[in-house]
C-alpha cells in the first residue's frame, strides 16, 4: 500500500468502499494528550458533546420502539471527492443510482417503510432520475450529505461553509424543498461543522455516536436546540460488506447482528438508526439482509417506522425542546450592537452611472414624480416631502411609509442620499432604513467618516450582520442598494421551514452574500421568526433625518 498526502493529513490507499469511511490521520506535529492541561482537555471535549436525552416516554401511537432507516446515496462522489477517480471506482459508484437504489426502494415500498436518503448534491445532479424514484411513494425524506462527499476535517471553515451552503441551495432547487437534516460525509465532523449547521438553519443532525437514544447537542457546554439522531458503525453496511476488507462478513450474518441490535432496542423501548448505501446494500446478496431485517422487525408489535425528520420533530415536541438556538442567542462571540465587534474595512467604490434605469419587467415604485404607490402605516397618503422630478425626502416625525402593494421574493433597487452638510454622529446621522416585508431592515446611515457599531452601519442587516465592506459615499452623494431578498417559508402550522435570505450590493460592491437572517430585525433584542403573510409591503423608515430616496424599482421574483 502507498501513502497519499492530503495536505496536512495522510490517507492509506484502501478499497473504495472503505475509503469512503476512512478518517484522516492526525497531523504528526500535534501535542500528545498526556502533555495537555485539564483546561485544554475540557475545551476540546466540551466543544461538541451530548446533552440531555430526548428519549420520549412513548412513541407515536403507543409504539414501543422507533426504527429509522437511512440510505446515503453517495454513488460516484466517493471516488470524486479526493480528485483521483478511476473508471472502475466510478462505475462501482454508478451502480448505486443505476441499480441499487431501485432494489432498495422496491423493498421499502413493498413493506411501506419510510426512509431518509442523505444525498450529496453532486450525486443527485449526476443521477437526477433518483429524485422521482425516491419521491414517488410520498413516504421518504431527502437530507443533505455534503456537496461532493467532502471530508470536513480537511477543510477550512470558509470552504466547508461554502460547500454546505451550496449543497443546501442545490438540493432545494432540485427537490423543491429545503432539507432540514444533515449527515456529515463519512460522519466526519470538523471543529467548525456544528457552528455551520446552526448558522444554516439545520434542525437535526445524524453523524455522532454518544448514545443510542436521541439527544440535544451541546456546544461549548451550552444547549443548541439541535436534535442528534445518533449512528453507530455496528449499524452501517460499509465496514462489513466490503469483500476486500479484513472485516468482511456475510450479509446473513450481518443481518443477524442488526436483528439482535433491534431486539435490544425493542426491549429498552428506545430507537435504532440503520445506515446503508445503495451502491453497497443494493447488490443482490446484500438486499437479502435488508429483506430479512425488515421481516424480523415487522414481526414485532408496536414498531414505529419513521423518517429522521419525523423522529426529530416528534422528540423535539415531546421534550419541549423549542426551536434551535441561534448562536447569537446562546452567548455567541458578538452580542447585538457590540461596539467591540470589528468594523468592516473601508473601500472607495467605483463611480456609477446614475440613475440606474429599470429593466423592462420591473415594477417602478418611485420615479420622482408622485407618491401614489406609497402610504403611511394606516393606509393614508404618504406624508413625506416630494422634490418634483427628483426625489422623496423624509418628513421628520411623520412616520414610516410603505408600498401599497405587498411583495415576497424580490430584486430591489433603491437610490438614497444622506443630508449634506452632515449633522450628528454615530446613529444620529443620516439614519433611515429599507424594510423588506416591513420586517427585515437593510440599514441606511451616513457611514462616511462616521463611527458606529458594526451591525448598525450602512448596508448592515440591522442588528445581525455587518456588511463585508464599508463602501459609503460622502454625505449628499447618491448611493445605491441592489438587494436580492428571499422571504422566509413557513408550513401550514406556522413552523419555520426556511429563513429569509438577503444579498446586498452597496454602490455596486457585494457587501452581504446570501445571508440567512436570524429573524425580524429589531433594536437591542433578538426577535424570533413568527409566521406571516407571503406578501407584505416594502417600507422606508422615518428616523428623524432628512434622508432622500429616488429611482426605486423591483423585479418580483415570484411572478
The answer to whether residue 109 scores a pLDDT higher than 90 is yes
Mean pLDDT of 352-356: 96
Distance, CA of 213 to chain centre: 24
Angle of helix 284-298 relative to helix 251-268, nearest 10 degrees, comes to 20
Q: What is the mean pLDDT of the chain?
A: 91
Of 25-34, 351-360, 362-371, 492-501, least confident by mean pLDDT is 25-34
Angstrom CA distances, 20 to 8, 15, 118, stand at 19, 9, 14
The answer to whether residue 64 scores a pLDDT higher than 60 is yes
pLDDT on residue 28: 53
Given the DSSP bridges, would you call strands 215-219 and 222-228 parallel, antiparallel or unpaired? antiparallel
pLDDT on residue 1: 32
pLDDT on residue 339: 86
- Grid coordinates representing 548? 432622500
Distance, CA of 353 to chain centre: 37
**Beta-carbon neighbour count of residue 441 at 10 Å?**
23
Continuous segment of H or E residues that includes residue 482: strand 479-486
Which pLDDT band holds residue 327 (cuts at 50, 70, 90)? low
> Which structural domains are found in the chain, ordered by start?
64-318 (3.20.20.370), 363-556 (2.60.120.560)
DSSP class per residue in 505-519: EETTEEEEEEEE--S
pLDDT on residue 526: 79
The answer to whether residue 245 scores a pLDDT higher than 80 is no
pLDDT on residue 22: 41
The answer to whether residue 3 scores a pLDDT higher than 50 is no
pLDDT on residue 333: 52
Q: What percent of the chain has pLDDT over 90?
A: 81
Put residue 112 in one of left, alpha, beta given phi > 0 → left and psi -120 to 50 → alpha. left
Angle of helix 101-111 relative to helix 284-298, nearest 10 degrees, comes to 20
Q: How many CA atoms lie within 13 A of 122 on its CB side?
A: 18
Q: What percent of the chain has pLDDT over 70?
A: 93
Backbone angles phi, psi at 187, to 5 degrees: 55, 30
Backbone angles phi, psi at 96, to 5 degrees: -60, -50
Segment 138-179, tens digit of pLDDT: 999 999 999 999 999 999 988 998 899 899 989 998 998 889
pLDDT on residue 128: 97
CA distance 270 to 213: 6
Burial 415-427 (b: 16+ CB within 10 A, else e): bbbbbeebeeeeb
Grid-cell match 442488526, residue found? 258
Put residue 264 in one of left, alpha, beta given phi > 0 → left and psi -120 to 50 → alpha. alpha
CA distance 510 to 535: 26
Mean pLDDT of 372-392: 95
Q: Which residue, 113, 118, 107, is CA-closest to 144?
A: 118
Mean pLDDT of 205-230: 96
CB 164 within 8 A of CB 156: no
Which pLDDT band holds residue 5 (cuts at 50, 70, 90)? very low
Grid-cell match 417559508, residue found? 489
Mean pLDDT of 417-428: 97
The answer to whether residue 407 scores a pLDDT higher than 70 is yes
Given the DSSP bridges, would you call strands 204-205 and 385-387 parallel, antiparallel or unpaired? unpaired
Which pLDDT band holds residue 24 (cuts at 50, 70, 90)? very low
CB 443 within 8 A of CB 462: yes
Which stretches within 302-453 are classed as H helix?
308-318
pLDDT on residue 243: 86
Task: Give the per-residue SS3 of 293-334.
Answer: HHHHHHCCCCEEECCHHHHHHHHHHHCCCCCCCCCCCCCCCC
Q: Which residue, 156, 198, 157, 149, is CA-closest to 19?
A: 149
Segment 8-18, tens digit of pLDDT: 333 333 333 33
CA distance 159 to 150: 10
CA distance 526 to 473: 30
pLDDT on residue 201: 84
CA distance 489 to 410: 14
Amino acid at each position: 500500500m502507498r501513502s497519499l498526502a492530503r495536505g496536512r493529513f495522510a490517507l492509506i490507499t484502501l478499497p473504495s468502499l472503505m475509503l469512503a469511511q476512512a478518517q484522516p490521520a492526525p497531523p504528526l506535529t500535534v501535542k500528545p494528550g498526556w502533555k495537555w492541561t485539564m483546561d485544554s482537555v475540557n475545551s476540546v471535549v466540551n466543544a461538541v458533546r451530548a446533552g440531555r436525552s430526548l428519549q420520549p416516554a412513548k412513541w407515536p401511537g403507543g409504539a414501543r420502539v422507533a426504527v429509522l432507516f437511512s440510505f446515503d446515496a453517495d454513488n460516484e462522489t466517493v471516488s470524486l471527492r479526493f480528485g483521483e477517480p478511476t473508471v472502475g471506482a466510478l462505475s462501482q459508484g454508478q451502480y448505486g443510482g443505476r441499480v441499487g437504489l431501485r432494489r432498495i426502494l422496491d423493498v421499502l415500498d413493498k413493506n411501506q417503510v419510510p426512509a431518509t436518503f442523505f444525498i450529496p448534491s453532486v450525486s443527485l445532479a449526476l443521477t437526477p432520475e433518483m429524485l422521482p424514484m425516491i419521491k414517488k411513494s410520498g413516504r421518504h425524506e431527502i437530507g443533505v450529505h455534503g456537496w461532493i462527499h467532502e471530508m470536513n476535517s480537511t477543510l477550512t471553515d470558509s470552504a466547508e461553509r461554502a460547500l454546505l451552503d451550496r449543497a443546501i441551495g442545490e438540493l432545494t432547487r432540485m427537490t423543491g424543498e429545503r432539507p432540514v437534516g444533515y449527515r456529515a460525509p463519512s460522519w466526519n465532523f470538523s471543529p467548525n461543522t456544528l457552528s455551520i449547521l446552526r448558522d444554516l438553519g439545520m434542525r437535526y443532525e445524524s453523524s455522532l455516536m454518544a448514545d443510542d437514544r436521541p439527544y440535544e447537542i451541546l456546544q461549548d457546554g451550552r444547549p443548541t436546540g439541535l436534535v442528534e439522531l445518533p449512528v453507530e458503525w455496528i449499524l452501517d453496511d460499509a465496514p462489513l460488506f466490503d469483500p476486500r476488507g479484513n472485516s468482511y462478513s456475510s450479509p446473513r450474518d450481518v443481518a443477524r447482528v442488526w436483528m439482535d441490535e433491534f431486539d435490544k432496542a425493542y426491549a429498552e423501548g428506545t430507537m435504532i438508526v440503520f445506515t446503508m448505501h445503495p451502491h453497497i446494500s443494493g447488490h443482490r446478496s446484500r438486499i437479502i439482509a435488508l429483506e430479512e431485517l425488515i421481516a424480523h422487525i415487522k414481526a414485532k408489535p408496536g414498531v414505529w417506522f419513521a423518517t429522521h425528520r419525523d423522529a426529530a420533530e416528534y422528540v423535539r415536541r415531546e421534550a419541549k425542546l423549542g426551536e434551535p438556538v441561534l448562536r447569537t442567542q446562546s452567548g455567541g462571540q458578538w452580542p447585538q450592537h457590540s461596539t467591540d465587534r470589528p468594523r468592516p474595512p473601508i473601500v472607495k467604490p467605483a463611480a456609477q452611472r446614475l440613475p440606474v434605469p429599470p429593466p423592462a419587467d420591473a415594477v417602478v415604485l418611485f420615479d420622482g414624480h408622485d407618491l401614489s404607490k406609497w402610504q403611511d402605516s394606516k393606509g393614508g397618503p404618504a406624508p413625506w416631502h416630494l422634490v418634483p422630478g427628483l426625489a422623496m425626502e423624509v418628513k421628520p416625525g411623520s412616520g414610516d411609509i410603505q408600498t401599497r402593494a405587498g411583495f415576497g421574493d424580490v430584486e430591489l433597487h433603491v437610490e438614497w442620499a444622506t443630508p449634506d452638510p452632515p449633522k450628528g454622529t454615530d446613529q444620529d446621522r443620516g439614519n433611515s432604513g429599507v424594510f423588506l416585508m416591513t420586517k427585515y431592515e437593510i440599514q441606511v446611515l451616513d457611514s462616511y467618516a462616521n463611527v458606529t457599531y458594526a451591525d448598525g452601519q450602512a448596508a448592515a442587516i440591522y442588528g445581525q450582520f455587518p456588511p463585508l465592506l464599508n463602501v459609503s459615499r460622502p454625505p449628499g452623494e447618491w448611493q445605491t442598494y441592489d438587494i436580492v431578498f428571499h422571504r422566509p417559508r413557513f408550513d401550514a402550522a406556522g413552523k419555520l421551514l426556511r429563513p429569509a435570505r438577503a444579498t446586498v450590493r452597496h454602490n455596486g460592491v457585494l457587501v452581504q452574500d446570501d445571508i440567512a437572517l436570524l429573524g425580524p430585525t429589531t433594536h437591542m433584542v433578538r426577535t424570533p421568526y413568527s409566521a406571516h403573510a407571503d406578501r407584505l409591503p416594502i417600507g422606508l423608515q422615518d428616523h428623524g433625518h432628512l434622508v432622500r430616496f429616488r429611482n426605486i424599482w423591483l423585479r418580483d421574483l415570484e411572478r
